[in-house]
């Protein structure tokens, strides 16, 4: 999961509790792949 954070940061959140939450500047994040599912209103 990706979540916007303050100051141009991005939170990278795993559903697996064994992996910690990461916060990185948007410039360090590269997305590879495609959206499979998106919940919520469009």
At 1-42, the pLDDT tens digits run 899 999 999 999 999 999 999 999 999 999 899 888 888 876
Q: Report pLDDT for 22.
A: 94
Q: Are the C-beta atoms of 1 and 10 separated by less than 8 Å?
A: no
Q: How many CA atoms lie within 13 A of 22 on its CB side?
A: 12
User: Which residues make beta-bridge pairs with 4?
Assistant: 10
Q: Report pLDDT for 19.
A: 96
- Sketch the domain layout of the chain as residue ranges: 1-30
Q: Are the C-beta atoms of 38 and 23 separated by less than 8 Å?
A: no
**What is the Cα–Cα distance from 26 to 19, expressed in whole angstroms?**
20
Q: Report pLDDT for 42.
A: 65
pTM for this entry:
0.61
Q: Which of 6, 16, 2 is nearest to 29 (CA)?
A: 2
């Amino acid at each position: 999961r990706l979540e916007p954070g303050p100051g141009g940061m991005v939170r990278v959140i795993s559903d697996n509790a064994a992996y910690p939450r990461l916060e990185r500047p948007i410039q360090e994040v590269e997305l590879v792949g495609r959206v499979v599912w998106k919940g919520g209103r469009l």
